[in-house]
Chain A
Amino acid sequence: MSSFKIFDIAGSGMSAQSVRLNTVASNLANADSVSGDPNSVYRAKHPVFQAVMGNPGDLSTAQVNVTGIAQSQAAPETRYDPGNPLADAQGNVYAPNVNVVEEMADMISASRSYQNNVEVLNTSRDMMLATLKLGQS
């Protein structure tokens, strides 16, 4: 039934935003996971969203799909910390390229988008239940 597609659409939006919230949580949790090797240090992860259009004759179904998780290519931060057991021969450790302020803004944006989709779902459900009662009152 076509009217049930709205649940798929809002559901795909919710799952995409929750993937985004998961990557934010992962990035924030690992913001201080230093490493002695600049190549093995944790890198900030961000989901890549893509709109999935329905059949050519059915233009209104545009679900969201997470096509993958991109790793940030920014250089890791170098810290001089010779007392750290992970420090390399020069006494440096490498911190992840996670921008904590950016992640917090991303988290708020993802949370608001998730709430939007929940709101769409609730409103649609109420409307469908009202439609089911058509002619009964």
Chain B
Amino acid sequence: MRTSLDSYLGIHPQALSLEAQRNELLAANLANVDTPNYKARDIDFKSALAAAGGNTSAAGSASGSAAVPSVPTPTVAAPLASASSGIDPTALKYRVPMAPSLDGNTVDEQLEQSAFAENSVRYQATLTFLNSALRDLMTAITGS
């Protein structure tokens, strides 16, 4: 059962939590940039958000699809087998490396860095949406 505040905020709370999780994943990729046999992972944002949002309202999904388009498809591959608590397991995928490396590591430093920068901007955009929604609510409550 959704409260009216949940439907008022739309998809943004779920998007914020998903973006935080994606940032964690990208940080793990960047930390393991020199670890042999480490396979870089990423979230397929569109399907993860669909799984997290579930039955979002029409207004929410419309603004959500405009605010958070999916990651480019060529960069992600087969889904992981095991389940995860926070992220939808079908959305968590291994990255396809652009060039093979001798130690089996598939982290592309530049790609991960740009993904991290992009994701943090998305996070801040979601925060701005939430902030303005809450400010509107406060204006309606206080009436000034």
Interface of A toward B, CB cutoff 8 Å: 2-3, 5-6, 9-10, 12-13, 16-17, 20, 49-51, 56-64, 109-110, 112-113, 116-117, 119-120, 123-124, 127, 130-131, 134-135, 137
Contacts and interface: CB of A to CB of B under 8 A. Distances in A.
Nearest to A126: B120
Nearest to B22: A60
Given A63-B28, A134-B134, A57 B34 contact: no
Interface of B: 16, 20-21, 23-38, 41, 80, 82-87, 92, 109, 113, 116-117, 120, 123-124, 127, 130-131, 134-135, 138
B33 A62 contact: no
A49 B27 contact: no
Main DSSP-derived SS at the B contact region: helix
Nearest to A131: B127
A58 B41 CA distance: 13
A116 B113 contact: yes
A113 B102 CA distance: 18
B86 A2 contact: yes
A117 B30 CA distance: 7
Given A2-B86, A58-B84, A60-B25, A137 B30 contact: no
Contacts of A51: 32, 35, 37-38
Contact of B23 (A13, A110, A124, A134): A124
A60 B135 contact: no
A60 B87 contact: yes
Given A51-B37, A61-B28, 5 more contacts: A20-B34, A57-B83, A64-B32, A124-B23, A134-B127
